[in-house]
Amino acid sequence: MIGGDSSDDQIHFTAMRRTRLLVTFTAFTILLLVFAPGALAAVRDNGGQGWTGETSDGMITNVMFFTIAFFPTVILVFSLIEWRLDKRKEARDDAIRAREKSADWRGGW
């Protein structure tokens, strides 16, 4: 809230912007719906088998093992990044508090 008035925090769109936004999203959705069946049904030189050709059970199993390992790894990496950023933030806040307590940084004569 800025100045204690909660109405300032809301985003107001003019009627023209709202109409333009609605038309753009509608056109984009229609475009996706028009081209999606052609993309899904396209059979080219490989008989619709995809990039890797004919798949076996072993290949599917390995891909799923990779998928199972991928998501916890991503969660771990993002958690470590967040931990480091929080650690830096706390160190910065501690330094600010230490400067405020120090007589050298208070100012005055």
The predicted structure's pLDDT at residue 52: 74
- The alpha carbons of the chain give a radius of gyration, in whole angstroms, of 28
Is position 33 within any domain? yes
Whether residue 29 has pLDDT greater than 70: yes
Between residues 5 and 64, the one the model is more confident about: 64
Q: How many structural domains compose the chain?
A: 1
Read off the pTM: 0.49
Is position 68 within any domain? yes
Is position 1 within any domain? no
The predicted structure's pLDDT at residue 33: 87
Q: Are 53 and 46 in contact (CB under 8 A)?
A: yes
Range of the domain at 78: 6-44+56-105
Least confident of 15-19, 68-72, 104-108: 104-108
Is position 28 within any domain? yes
For residue range 39-96, list pLDDT tens digits in order: 666 666 666 676 677 788 999 999 999 999 999 999 999 999 999 999 999 999 999 8
The predicted structure's pLDDT at residue 15: 79
B/e letters for 2-12, b = 16+ CB within 10 Å, e = fewer, are: eeeeeeeeeee
Is position 50 within any domain? no
Is position 97 within any domain? yes
Grade residue 37 by pLDDT with cuts at 50, 70 and 90. Answer: confident
Q: Are 1 and 9 in contact (CB under 8 A)?
A: yes
The predicted structure's pLDDT at residue 1: 46
